[in-house]
Structure 1
């Protein structure tokens, strides 16, 4: 939801950063890889007891993830870049979930439920993107929903900064993610039935 409706407010900053990185010779795919390595360190930092650093690198990674897409659109987007981008996004989320799971074992069952809801929501998202004839600003059809990447980062941040409430934050994240998957599934039915007419 925030990615779709609030992006316009941060896009000027993203455009400037993308331009600066292109000027020094970096490619969109190189920034995707840099973003990935910064992002996956988040779960490691949290596990070793550095939640502020963990949250900081998570958001730096998220910012660079937005920058790399803008860089690709300013140059030449690559299909493999899209694959890397979507895959690395999930691995960053997995890193945080694993970091929390190993650091706070008594909430592992809730984190497992959360992981299942993310798999469900992303399966719908990626399948619709693959089969839909519609294309958006990205190289596939992007389905907006209640929980997009920014909402996910907010929940992951709360999980790391409020360990006393991690169970309730995780369960709320699970319900929001499941709702988003259902929301996308219903939207997909409408979109794809229209395309087949």
Structure 2
């Protein structure tokens, strides 16, 4: 919900940093993979109960997620880069609830499963529309310059990361946070499904 507004604030400094990183010979794909490894490490830290360290790694993962796009804009955007960016993001998003389930299966298992289901629904409506948008030649830059059509919703990247950080800070309340965010994601997915159905009927 807040991603488009945040992009206007964070893109200028990221683009400056991206040009410097690109000049140093570091590629966007390298940053994408490094960020993903931070995400995997964050999930491992959660599973072992190192919540403060996990929160730091989540922040680094998100910094890399913004920086790789800035480097791509400073050099050359590629289909592979866009593919890696979205796929590894989804891997990371799924890893965090799963890690909380591993950390405390009895307290967190059902809530983590509900959140993963909600993520699956959100991802399906998001990526399914991106395919149809590409087929129809639809374009948008509301979410910044992207490799695929980004159709917003109630639960986007900014909200997801804020929730992940809250889960780390208030880990004993993971289940309550996860159930609440799962409900928001389901509403977001259903709203997107209704919106896209109307768009594709035209």
**TM-score normalized by the length of structure 2:** 0.91
The 4+ residue runs of structure 1 with deviation greater than 4 A are none
Q: Map Cα deviations across residues 19-74 of structure 1 (whole Å, 9 max, x no partner).
A: 12101101111111111111111011122222111011111111210111122222
**Matching of residues 13-24 of structure 1 within 5 Å:** 13-24=13-24
Structure 2: runs of 5+ lacking an equivalent: none
When the two chains are superposed, the root-mean-square deviation of aligned CA atoms in Å is 1.3
Match of 1:174 in 2: 182
2:168 to 160, 165, 172: 160
Whole-angstrom distance in 2 between the partners of 1:74 and 1:21: 9
Distance 2:57 2:171 in 1: 18
Helix, strand or coil: the match of 2:40?
helix
**Count of matched residue positions in the alignment of Structure 1 and Structure 2:** 194
Q: Within the alignment, does 1:135 sit opposite 2:139 as a pair?
A: yes
Partner of 1:105: 105
In structure 2, the partner of 1:121 is 122
Per the TM alignment, residue 95 of structure 1 is displaced from its structure 2 partner at its CA by 2.2
* Deviations, residues 92-114 of structure 1 (Å, cap 9, x unaligned): 12221122111121220111111
TM-score norm. by structure 1 comes to 0.93
Is the Cα–Cα contact under 8 Å of residues 38 and 61 in structure 2 kept in the other structure?
Answer: yes
Is the 1:159–1:169 Cα contact (8 Å) retained in structure 2? yes
Check the 8 A contact 1:100/1:160 in 2, yes or no: no
Superposed, 1:56-71 pairs within 5 Å as 56-71=56-71
